[in-house]
């Protein structure tokens, strides 16, 4: 039953079926399917579409259609993750965003949701966030962790710009910096002087805990 629901959820995303994706996400919640598993299923689906686009087999409208289905279904699952993981204790303050020039929001929001569900106080600056806004966010929220997402090879260098801006402001060492997103590798993270990288959202939570020593 649960395998069937997840399979249908995946099919709805790869079939650009927004309503279907919403319905199957609701069914997954009703049937108490592990919401992390549901998120994983949707991630596999959207990556499949992304691969097709990358290989020239699919086109931008395909990407947009699948993203719309995923964007409609994701909040339903994220709500469940928050419900299941609701906690009072705060593990620390996080400022998160997708870098300037990049409007990909799905992975960044997943990381924000899982961090929230695991007890971090998360301030999501959204997408297309400039280096100045990241610096302002870290200052304003007195963040212990800055998390940046970048999905494109053209926008990944923005993460370096943000670190440079934090150094200029004299606050680089007040905050732990973690980076991720489809365009980022451990090697790249090391090269820009980030404190940590992880390729997955659950891994981002473990990384954040390690960075704050909890």
Query: Does residue 47 interact with ligand B12 by CB under 6 A?
Result: yes
Q: How far is the CB of 100 from ligand B12 (least distance, A)?
A: 10
Strand-pair category, 145-149 with 120-124: unpaired
Instruction: Write each residue from 5 to 44 as x if it is in contact with ligand B12 (CB under 6 A), else as -, in one continuous string.
Output: --------------------------------------x-
Q: How far is the CB of 27 from ligand B12 (least distance, A)?
A: 21
Contacts with 40 (C-beta within 8 Å, 6 or more apart), sequence order = none
Among 151, 165, 192, 211, binds ligand B12 (CB under 6 A): 151
> Any idea what the Cα angle at residue 38 is, between residues 22 and 83, rounded to 5°?
85
Query: Does residue 108 interact with ligand B12 by CB under 6 A?
Result: yes
Query: Does residue 149 interact with ligand B12 by CB under 6 A?
Result: yes
Among 9, 25, 58, 183, binds ligand B12 (CB under 6 A): 183
Query: Does residue 60 interact with ligand B12 by CB under 6 A?
Result: yes
Q: How far is the CB of 1 from ligand B12 (least distance, A)?
A: 25
Residues that bind ligand B12 (CB under 6 A): 43, 46-47, 49-50, 53-54, 60, 63-64, 67, 71, 101-108, 110-111, 147-149, 151-154, 178-183, 198-201, 204, 207
């Amino acid at each position: 039953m649960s395998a069937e629901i997840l399979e249908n959820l995946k099919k709805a995303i790869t079939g650009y079926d927004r309503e279907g994706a919403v319905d199957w996400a609701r069914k997954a919640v009703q049937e108490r399917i592990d919401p992390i598993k549901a998120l994983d299923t949707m991630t596999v689906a959207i990556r499949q579409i992304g691969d097709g686009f990358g290989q020239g087999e699919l086109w931008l409208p395909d990407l947009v259609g699948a993203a719309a289905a995923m964007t409609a279904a994701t909040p339903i699952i994220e709500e469940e993750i928050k419900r299941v993981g609701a906690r009072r204790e705060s593990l620390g303050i996080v400022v998160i965003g997708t870098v300037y020039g990049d409007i990909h929001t799905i992975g960044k929001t997943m990381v924000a949701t899982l961090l929230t569900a695991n007890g971090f106080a998360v301030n999501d600056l959204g997408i297309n966030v400039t280096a100045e806004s990241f610096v302002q966010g870290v200052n304003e929220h007195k963040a212990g962790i800055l998390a940046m997402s970048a999905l494109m090879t053209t926008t990944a260098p923005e993460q370096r710009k943000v670190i440079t801006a934090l150094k200029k402001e004299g606050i680089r060492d007040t905050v732990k910096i973690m980076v991720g997103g489809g365009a980022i590798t451990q090697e790249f993270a090391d090269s820009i002087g980030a404190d940590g990288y992880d390729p997955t959202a659950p891994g981002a939570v473990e990384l954040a805990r390690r960075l704050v020593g909890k």
